[in-house]
């Protein structure tokens, strides 16, 4: 899963930027993720490096049944932040379409 949206990089607007959670670390209910931002989804798929990385992005995760893994909860948490609220979810072919 990833997200697609507008991103300003070095003063330039990128309309179809692509962002993915890269690393996830957690302890108890504390979770930290890094988000890699690419020029577009094709750049990520072709193995190009990311333009920028947002780290640390922290949130409180839920523990229990049917709450999703840390990465899934990470997407849900960052979509609550103003910076990411307008970004669209992008699912890979082998993923279920869950609402992040």
The tens digit of pLDDT for each residue in 9-67 reads 999 999 999 999 999 999 999 999 999 999 999 999 999 999 999 999 999 999 998 89
Q: How many residues are present in the chain?
A: 100
| pLDDT band with cut points at 50, 70 and 90 for residue 100 | very low
Q: CB burial class (10 A; 0-12, 13-18, 19+) of residue 43?
A: middle
- Cα gap 75→58, rounded to integer Å: 11
C-alpha distances in Å from residue 37, one per residue of 3, 8, 22, 34: 9, 11, 10, 10
| pLDDT band with cut points at 50, 70 and 90 for residue 94 | low
Parse the chain into domains and list their residue ranges: 2-88
């Amino acid at each position: 899963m990833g997200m697609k949206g507008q991103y300003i990089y070095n003063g330039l607007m990128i309309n179809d930027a692509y962002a993915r959670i890269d690393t996830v670390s957690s302890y108890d209910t504390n979770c930290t993720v890094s988000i890699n931002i690419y020029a577009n989804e094709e750049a990520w798929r072709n193995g190009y490096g990311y333009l920028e990385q947002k780290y640390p992005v922290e949130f409180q995760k839920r523990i229990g049944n049917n709450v999703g893994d840390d990465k899934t909860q990470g997407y849900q948490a960052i979509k609550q932040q103003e910076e990411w609220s307008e970004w669209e979810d992008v699912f890979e072919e082998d993923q279920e379409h869950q609402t992040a």
